[in-house]
Amino acid sequence: MSAEIKNLSPEHVWGYFYDLTQIPRPTGQMEAVTRYVVDFGKSLGLETLQDEVGNVLIRKPATPGMEGRKTVILQSHLDMVPQKNSSVAHDFSKDPIDAYVEGDWVTARDTTLGADNGIGAAYAMAVLSDTSLTHGPVEALFTVDEEVGMDGAFGLKPGFLKGETMINCDSEKEGELFVGCAGGADLNISFQYKDDPYIPEGDVAVKLSLTGLKGGHSGVDIHLGRANANKLLFRFLKEAVMEYGVRLASVDGGSLRNAIPREAFAIVTLPEDEADVFWELVSDYQDLYRSEFAGVEDGVTFAAEKVELPTTLIPEEIQDALINAIVGCRNGVLSMLSDFPGTVESSSNLAIVKSSEGLIEVKILVRSSSETRKAAVCSSLESVFALAGARVEEGSSYNGWQPNINSPILQAMQATYEALYGRKPAVKVMHAGLECGIIQGAYPTMDMVSIGPDLEFPHSPDERVNIPSVAKVWDFLKATLERV
């Protein structure tokens, strides 16, 4: 499979991308991939630096005669989101990604591909290694641990970068120039309790499995109307508890704060004489979900199987409070931007609901281009869970990147794109967390634009990157570096 990817055009971009797919690099495990990039920079004889949080910076001198140009920074992040289908035994800490070509796309078997943001890193590496290019001074910044907490961007210190113009390569639509993005905030919610050891005699235990959803990126895919596995599961649980005396023993829904949850599981108990009607209810809800999400979630599966009785249950008052809070929790698109039609302004993603001994944890990621709206959404969610008796804490929070339509690099890239392709690129704001806003906090005068090829379904096992668009962005990037 390596040959078919490495033979794609442009070969050096795809070659470096393939190399990155072979290095395990989930967020939090950056040693191997940063060592690879550091060794790459040094092998080219280029100035290669690494800061205290792990970010790698490689500097390439200007082409002779262009030393007086402004330094341009190419920025991407090295980590990837580790998502897989439950049917595969992939270990993201040690297994390479099984990437392959499918028509005009590169994708992976049953896991995320890591084109977010491996393809951006590959562009930068190709620029650094290609001696035929014409450009001013170039800095390539490879940040770490972007997907959870944006630690690399937050760890950047003033003075590490020399350039004041940055091209971020982490957006996902060819022909679109992004000049702003949403900020975000994590809500960490917890219910603490003592396990209830009493299980009524004659009860049976059932495992509920809600699977087959598409999931996706909780920013760029949130407007697609995809189902949230946690919301669907708890919608069912509310009726099951009210009508059939169901008790909740455990729950495990979602896995990543920035991914729309694709799967959710629960173990419940109920009187054995209610088992037949309970099975019918599960089947009815599967039909209901397939009907409501027809054309969007055609693969949704809701199944029940008998399992061994658990040793304890979640106390009934905690169970009821949790169910009511999850059902009442706002989720999905909450407001739209008026200045950029069709762009989401604010959203929330009920990402994780997970129980363990004496503890239920709920994690929600709130996004908004407006700091006041972000605060309002967080406050409304805090109210719902506080009324349910939960503890609510705000975790990491980051500001958005505010648009500057008078940006010099934007104007230069608009002109370059039109000269290459005979049409003007779209100028947009992204409803996702790019590192640009955080980097701007350390470098307030930084002039920035974000670009990227067509990338679909990031943060899900359906992730794929379009081959022709990768070539178009490469040509655009080369022409831009020659112009600015």
Q: Specify whether the backbone of 457 is left (phi greater than 0), alpha (psi in -120 to 50) or beta.
A: left
Distance CA 31, CA 6 (A): 24
Q: Is the peptide bond before 117 cis (omega within 30 degrees of 0)?
A: yes
Return the H-helix or E-strand segment holding 247.
Answer: strand 247-253
Instruction: List all residues 6 or more positions away from 182 whose beta carbon is below 8 Å from its beta carbon.
Output: 219, 344, 345, 346, 367, 368, 369, 400, 429, 430, 431, 432, 433
Is 320 an annotated catalytic residue?
Answer: no
Residue among 447, 231, 435, 181 nearest 332 (CA): 231
Contact 219, 332 (CB under 8 A): no
Query: What is the CB neighbour count within 10 angstroms for residue 283?
Result: 13
Residue at 202: amino acid letter: G
Please identify which of the residues 79, 116, 174, 345 carries the catalytic annotation: 79
Q: How far apart are CA 320 and CA 14, in angstroms?
A: 52
**Rounded CA separation 227/47 (Å):** 47
Neighbours of 68 (CB within 10 A): 8
| Coil vs helix vs strand at 119 | helix
Amino acid at 89: A
Distance between CA atoms of residues 101 and 117, nearest Å: 18
Active site includes 146? yes
Instruction: Compute the distance between CA of residue 345 and CA of residue 435 in angstroms, rounded to an integer.
Output: 18
Residue 21 CA to residue 36 CA, distance in Å, equals 12
Give every CB contact of residue 461 below 8 A, 6+ residues apart in sequence: 83, 84, 85, 108, 110, 111, 112, 215
d(CA 434, CA 146): 9
Looking at the DSSP assignment, which residues form a beta bridge with residue 346?
335, 368
Measure the CA–CA gap between 158 and 165, rounded to whole angstroms.
Answer: 14
Catalytic residue from among 19, 116, 139, 146 = 146
What sign does the CA torsion over 120, 79, 334, 401 have? Answer: negative
Closest to 42 (Cα-Cα) out of 159, 120, 129: 129
Dist CA 69 CA 258 (whole Å): 38
Q: What's the Cα-to-Cα distance from 76 to each of 60, 73, 235, 416, rounded to whole Å?
A: 16, 10, 39, 21
Positions marked active-site:
79, 146
